[in-house]
């Protein structure tokens, strides 16, 4: 029972951004039903309609949360990330079992590696707490924490590997530095080249042109391993911080969606309570949908221009941005139609409602009398995409930071060699 409650709480938390939209759809439907049966319904009937619509929205939200219950676990919340974590942690555990023994030289690093690796199997097991229904998995922060723990273990293993294997890993990190935007990357690359030459003399000559094979290294082997480990840690921390930044942006965006959506719903509920004619409410809902669709099409166009090599895991930020954009585009469409219609009815006689006796707002939001409002809604639906450029640039910068800190295509051979060496 406790497990079920935990999963339900997590599912409700993960889908909270959908509540205002579901409540809005239900309330428009209830207002249309009431208005159809009662052409002149009063305020108490409007209050009842708003309450019933909100309760129906909450019910739909609960049904959705119940249907997505299984996606709250570690193996379902982010399948790709889960599989990669399982693969890497299994490889690290196997490598530790191969390298570690009871000698004094490796005892400290082996104990450190074990401290980081031993909790991971239970943490990544979907059948054991806290992996079954943990909010961190749905929010994305759990995966970032798991990666941090795994990275610390891999860094400790770098101190235990044979010289050739450690040199292969250092070579791979050198390629990651070459295309990244990590601060002081040139200094880190210089130090790593020196460490690489000390770990494997022949491989070091490839990145140190002009250095003769067999020349005396600048660093002894323990110092070279320490340098390689610290550079690996800086790269990992850079990537982990970027991932944490994406998670933070997503959490802030989800919070704004909930509060902005609830504010918009209160406006709709107020319109139902004061008995605004139901055709006007339905027309406003249609205008909202037009604006939302235009905003989403704009987002689809921008996403289609992304470079495939820079498509990285965004921890659900893309979905949150899509919901946020649809909400703001729809609200901008309705507000834009109101502002444009009121102004046009004053200064442009040709754009007045076809029924001169109708109230201005009634004419504006009645698409049968004011069809140009559909075009206006579409135009205003584009504005949130322009206003959210700063948010998009922040997210793109974080994703680009993760993508550029991976090995480039030219270094794929060296990276594959390093990975194969680490797993032997």
C-alpha gyration radius of the chain? 29
Distance CA 184, CA 193 (A): 14
Residue 224 lies in a domain: yes
Domain assignment present for 198: yes
The answer to whether position 257 is within a domain reads no
- Domain stop point among 12, 42, 72: 72
Confidence of residue 60 (pLDDT cuts 50, 70, 90): very high
**Could you tell me if 46 and 102 lie in one domain?**
no
Q: What is the C-alpha separation between 381 and 375, in angstroms, rounded?
A: 10
| 3-class SS of residue 44 | helix
Verify that 110 and 235 share a domain, yes or no: yes
Residues 235, 140 share a domain:
yes
Is the residue at 154 inside a domain? Answer: yes
Q: What is the mean pLDDT of the chain?
A: 80
Q: Please indicate, yes or no, whether residues 234 and 135 belong to a single structural domain of this protein.
A: yes
Residues 304 and 390 in one domain: yes
Does 359 score more than 50 pLDDT? no
Residues 61 and 102 reside in one and the same domain = no
Least confident of 112-121, 144-153, 336-345: 336-345
pLDDT band at 415 (very low <50, low <70, confident <90, very high): very low
Between CA 183 and CA 391 the distance in angstroms is 23
Q: Is 416 or 393 the better-scoring residue by pLDDT?
A: 393
CB 252 within 8 A of CB 395: no
Contact 349, 323 (CB under 8 A): no
Domain final position from 31, 49, 72:
72
Contacts of 123 (CB under 8 A, 6+ apart): 74, 130, 131, 146
Q: Are residues 29 and 128 in the same domain?
A: no
Q: Are residues 221 and 346 in the same domain?
A: no
Same domain, yes or no: 82 and 67: no
Tokens of 97: 């079992």
Has residue 39 been placed in a domain?
yes
Same domain, 183 and 48: no
Tell me, what's the pLDDT at 133?
A: 58
Give the torsion through C-alpha atoms of 404, 407, 411, 415, to 10 deg: 180
Res 389 pLDDT > 80? no
Query: What sign has the CA pseudo-torsion 225, 199, 103, 95?
Result: positive
Say how many domains are in the chain.
Answer: 3
Q: Are residues 322 and 370 in the same domain?
A: yes
Evaluate whether residue 269 is within a structural domain: no
Q: Is residue 103 domain-resident?
A: yes
Range of the domain at 52: 1-72
pLDDT band for position 408 (cuts 50, 70, 90): low
pTM over 0.75: yes
Tell me whether residue 263 is in a domain: no
Task: Give me the mean pLDDT over the 43-53 stretch.
Answer: 86
* Cα distance between residue 220 and residue 209, in whole Å: 20
Q: Is the bond preceding 74 in cis, omega lying within 30 degrees of 0?
A: no
Domain boundary among 20, 40, 72: 72
Segment 209-218 mean pLDDT: 58
Q: Do residues 351 and 202 share a domain?
A: no
**Rounded CA separation 424/420 (Å):** 7
Least confident among 81-85, 321-325, 344-348, 385-389: 344-348
């Amino acid at each position: 029972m406790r497990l079920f409650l935990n999963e339900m709480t997590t599912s409700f938390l993960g889908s909270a951004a959908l509540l205002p939209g579901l409540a809005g759809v239900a309330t428009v439907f209830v207002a249309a039903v009431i208005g159809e049966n009662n052409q002149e319904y009063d305020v108490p009937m409007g209050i009842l309609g708003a309450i019933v619509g909100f309760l129906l929205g909450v019910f739909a939200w609960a049904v959705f949360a119940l249907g997505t219950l299984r996606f709250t676990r570690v193996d379902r919340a982010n399948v790709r990330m889960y599989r990669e974590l399982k693969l890497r942690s299994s490889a690290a555990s196997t490598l530790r079992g191969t390298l570690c023994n009871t000698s004094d030289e490796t005892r400290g690093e082996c104990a450190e590696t074990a401290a980081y690796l031993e909790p991971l199997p239970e943490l990544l097991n979907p059948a054991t707490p806290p992996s079954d229904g943990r909010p961190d998995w749905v929010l994305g922060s759990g995966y970032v924490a798991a990666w941090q723990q795994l990275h610390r273990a891999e860094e400790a293993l770098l101190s235990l590997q044979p010289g050739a294997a450690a040199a292969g890993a250092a070579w791979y990190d050198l390629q990651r530095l070459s295309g990244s935007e990590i601060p002081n990357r040139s200094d880190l690359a210089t130090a790593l080249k020196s460490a690489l030459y000390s770990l494997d003399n022949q491989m070091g000559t490839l990145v140190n042109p002009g250095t003769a094979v067999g020349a005396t290294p600048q660093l002894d082997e323990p110092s070279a391993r320490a340098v390689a480990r610290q550079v690996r840690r800086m790269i990992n921390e850079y990537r982990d911080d970027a991932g944490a930044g994406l998670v933070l942006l997503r959490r802030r965006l989800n919070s704004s969606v909930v509060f902005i959506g609830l504010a918009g719903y209160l406006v709709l509920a107020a319109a139902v309570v004061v008995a605004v004619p139901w055709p006007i409410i339905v027309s406003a809902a249609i205008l909202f949908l037009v604006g939302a669709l235009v905003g989403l099409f704009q987002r689809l166009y921008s996403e289609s221009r992304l470079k495939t090599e820079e498509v990285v895991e965004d921890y659900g930020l893309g979905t949150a941005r899509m919901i946020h954009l649809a909400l703001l585009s729809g609200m901008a469409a309705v507000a834009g139609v109101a502002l444009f219609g009121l102004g046009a009815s004053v200064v442009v006689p040709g754009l007045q409602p076809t029924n001169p006796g109708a109230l201005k707002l009634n004419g504006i939001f009645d698409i049968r009398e004011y069809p140009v409002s559909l075009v206006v809604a579409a135009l205003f639906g584009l504005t949130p995409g322009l206003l959210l450029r700063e948010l998009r640039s922040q997210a793109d910068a974080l994703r680009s930071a993760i993508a550029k800190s991976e090995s480039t295509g030219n270094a794929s051979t060296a990276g594959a060699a390093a990975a194969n060496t680490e797993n032997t």
